[in-house]
Structure 1
Amino acid sequence: MANVTSNPAPTPPLKAAMIPVTPLQQNCSLIWCTATNKAALVDPGGDLDKLKAAVKQAGVELEKILITHGHADHCGEAGKLAKELGLPIEGPHEADRFWISRLDDDGPRFGLDSAPFEPDRWLVDGDKVTVGDLTLDVYHCPGHTPGHVVFHHPESKLAIVGDVIFEGSIGRTDFPMGNHQDLIDAITGKLWPLGDDTTFIPGHGRPSQFGRERQSNPFVGDAALA
């Protein structure tokens, strides 16, 4: 006999799944609106068959591709996927045109298939992107790359941060056009105000929370910057 509860837990407006792709184990995120079943892939850098299988398993309908920044492991095959499925690409900030234009050269250095593409929409700080009925806020967070953006869904207390910050670490800034101080300023000035209880999905590794990183991150924790 099935248990019946008088107050079933409400369905969250947003669901997300992390799908590591490429030899660099980059976290592609599949996010979807539970009200409409419409979905987006964030940073589909490669392993497209794996990504399409994950979409099918989730039973959702892809409506767009979102990109945090122009490095090959994050967006190398985004253009190919967009063309194949007839999807628009939104992001990153146009300052990463430099990186996207180099994809056919940069990808093979890391053993990745990649090709340049033109997003349907470049994003700027303060923009909004939609997935079904969901609205995500866009934050321009340069430093790792000049055009890096972060996607934040306030109601879910969830941020998708690419390679800006990781559990116990931050993004590299020794690539061309990287800037360490810009990265620190973006994390402390734009991400910390989103709240200690905000969970973030990084481009590599495990999710964490901003509050946890403020307590213990050796690069941007409160003690490290005091």
Structure 2
Amino acid sequence: MKVTLIPVTPFQQNCSLLVCETTGRAAVVDPGGDLDMIQREVARQNVTVEKVLLTHGHIDHCAGAKTLATHYGVPIEGPHPDERFWLDKLPDQSTRFGFPAADAFEPDRWLQDGDTVQFGDETFEVYHCPGHTPGHVVFFSRAHRLALVGDVLFAGSIGRTDFPRGNHADLIRSIRDKLWPLGDDITFVPGHGPTSTFGAERRTNPYVADGVGA
């Protein structure tokens, strides 16, 4: 599988283009904006977009989802139903953060903990990881030892929980109970900034390293 990160919006959010190299089928994860950049990369790689995947409903992750899905004629899958609160507030979010106007929408498929999503020959497991937002999900490829974690975890930090319906205790539980058991060798793509591994964060992350808060 080929993974291309496309930082979009003034928040430099890591939109991911995931390509099944066997079939040339692709998924776009968290297209928050700058759709021209995303479409150019899809065309450059000459791949077929099969679906749009969303980790959560903050505007820098999902503002372009409906437009992009309509452009390619594909479904939107994710996040978890508890994220309806944020998707319904997209018009308010666009005003608050100075984004182009964004309409509320509903994904074609809400995702639950334990679901899977597929494109081409690739399969990702779905983990409901609330805390940053109530309906946040993480996508995990067991075959490639790769997780797309949105704003749950960053290299050296964790997601904010001061937004409405954020919960710090839930976030810590999501990381320690859902992510860490997947393995120290897992490489993860965060919503912002560089990639890292779960093992590195367990050793050095000042918020969730082993022993912190014990």
Q: TM-score, normalised by structure 1?
A: 0.93
Match of 1:125 among 113, 116, 121: 113
1:30 aligns with 2:14: no
Give me the whole-angstrom Cα distance separating, in 2, the residues matched to 1:214 and 1:225: 13
What's the RMSD between the two structures over aligned residues?
A: 0.8
Please identify runs of 4+ aligned residues in structure 1 that moved more than 6 A.
Answer: none
Partner of 1:91: 78
Q: Deviations along 1:108-133, whole A, 9 cap, x unmatched?
A: 22121222111000000000000111
Which of 73, 98, 101 in structure 2 is aligned with 1:111? 98
- Quote the sequence identity (%): 61
1:169-205 C-alpha deviation (Å, 9 max, x unpaired):
0000010000000000000001001110000000000
Tell me the alpha carbon deviations over residues 12-57 of structure 1, each in whole angstroms, 9 at most, x when there is no partner. Answer: xx11011000000000000011111100000001000000001111
2:170 is paired with a residue whose SS is helix
1:101 to 85, 88, 95: 88
Cα pair 1:144 1:164 within 8 Å, conserved:
yes
CA distance in 1, matches of 2:24, 2:71: 21
Displacement of 1:105 in angstroms is: 1.2
Q: Which runs of 5+ in 1 are unaligned?
A: 1-13
The partner residue of 1:217 within 205, 210, 213 is 205
| Per-residue Cα deviation, 1:131-189 (whole angstroms, up to 9, x for no partner) | 11111000000000000000000110000000000000000001000000000000000
* Consecutive unaligned residues in structure 2, runs of 5 or more: none
Q: Contact 1:77 / 1:115 at 8 angstroms: preserved in 2?
A: no
- How does the TM-score come out when normalised to structure 2? 0.98
Residue of 167, 171, 184 corresponding to 1:183: 171
Structure number with greater Rg is 1
Would you say 1:75 and 2:37 are equivalent positions? Answer: no
